[in-house]
Amino acid sequence: MIFYQAITMLDEKVLFGGAKMPLYDQILDAIMKDIKTGRLKEGDKLPTEMELSKAFGVSRPTVRNALLRLANQGYLVRVRGNGTFVTKPKLEQESVQFIESYNQEMKAKGLVPKTQVLEFRVIPCDDRIASKLDIRPDDKVIKLTRLRYATPYYEEQPVLLTTVYLPCNEASAILSCDLEDASLYETLESQGITICRAERELEIKLVYGKAAKLLEVPKGSPAHFISSVGYDQNDKPVEYSESFYPAGRNKFIIRINR
């Protein structure tokens, strides 16, 4: 952890009281510039409000306003009794509402998706998976487990661990496809299977063991857990997935219209 010295902020930063931009926005922009250029890194501790107010020559409420705005945007976290630290903003996920591939969703946010396939094989399904896909126990299913990343927010740390199960007699052709670069939904569509609707359940679970190791989080860390059944154009269940989104890296937007 590096302490961000208040005195260094005076090197290049001058606030203009007569400028149209409010002083707190000028402070916000100055700190954001240092975050984006790497001068401030994740885990760095900022000076106190008093030190920042002296460095910038403004009141503490003005500094507090700027810090609160940056905290609300996800760039800072304020720890009571310990200080203010730089953090990464959580990715906004809209998967609860929309049927959209991960690649499409990340690209729409201006991010570059990256996928690592961990498991891609045919297995006999158990009673639980069979009930989700409306097939018989021991029927063959395709199991696809992937780690997902998003550049530049999380280039090295995964933001999602997801496992998908598909009936083998419906989607066996995807076994020859490269699903590190291609979208699963787009691949299914090319084979005449379109996911038209989905039923999803969202809950919070603690991750342990292999899942924690793969997601690079401490054991017992909270994660958003989404289980989803996807239905095709004939309203037949053709996809069941279980996904872990580390809570410290993701948040979900749920829009409700009247």
Map out the domains of the chain with their CATH numbers: 6-86 (1.10.10.10), 91-252 (3.40.1410.10)
Q: What is the pLDDT of residue 144?
A: 96
* Proportion of the chain in helix, strand, coil states, percent, rounded to 5: 30, 30, 40
pTM flag (> 0.75): no
pLDDT bracket for residue 11 (50, 70, 90): very low
Average pLDDT over residues 37-47: 84
Question: Residue 37: pLDDT band by 50, 70, 90 thresholds?
Answer: confident
For residue range 191-246, list pLDDT tens digits in order. 899 999 888 888 999 999 999 999 999 999 999 999 999 999 999 999 999 999 99
- Segment 46-62, tens digit of pLDDT: 888 888 888 888 888 88
- The upper half-sphere exposure of residue 148, i.e. CA atoms within 13 Å in the direction of its Cβ, equals 29
Q: What is the rounded (10 degree) CA torsion for 109, 31, 34, 107?
A: 0
